[in-house]
Amino acid sequence: MALVVLLVLVFMQGQAEAFFQTGNDLVMDMREYEKSDNDRSESWYQTGRYAGFVVGVHDALQGILFQAPPNVRVKQIFAIVANYLKNHPERWNESGLVLVADALKEAFPLKK
C-alpha cells in the first residue's frame, strides 16, 4: 500500500511541474539549450530541462493532438518548439505544456 501511495505522489509531482512550467521558464531553458552548441558555459540543468520537457510533451501527446512523422528527429522537434516560442512572445506567460503542444500541433496536424 505504501508503494502505491508513493507512486501516486511521484506521478502527481511530475504533473504539477509540467503544469507550472511557464513559457517564460521554457524560453530561459531554450536559450541555454541553443547556447550549448557553441558555448560550454551553458547551464546543463536548464539544457536538460528544456530537452526533457519538450520530449515529454511530444511523447505524451503524439497521436492525440498532433501526428509527427515516424522519422522526425529530436533536434527537429526542439527547433520547431524554439521557433514557435520566438515567434509568440506574447504567449510566454502561458503554460509551457500548452505552448509546446500548440507548436507541435501547428507543425504536425492530426491526419483526418
Task: Give the model confidence (pLDDT) of 53-95 as tens digits.
Answer: 999 999 999 999 999 999 999 999 999 999 999 999 999 999 9
Q: For cell 500541433, what's the residue?
A: 105
CA neighbor of 98 nearest in space, from 46, 44, 60: 60
The C-alpha cell of 41 is what? 558555459
CATH, domain 2-107, list 1.10.890.40, 2.20.25.90, 3.90.1570.10, 1.10.540.10: 1.10.890.40
Tell which wins on pLDDT, 4 or 79. 79
To 5 degrees, how large is the angle CA 96–CA 76–CA 12? 30
State the Cα–Cα distance between residues 76 and 73, nearest whole angstrom. 5
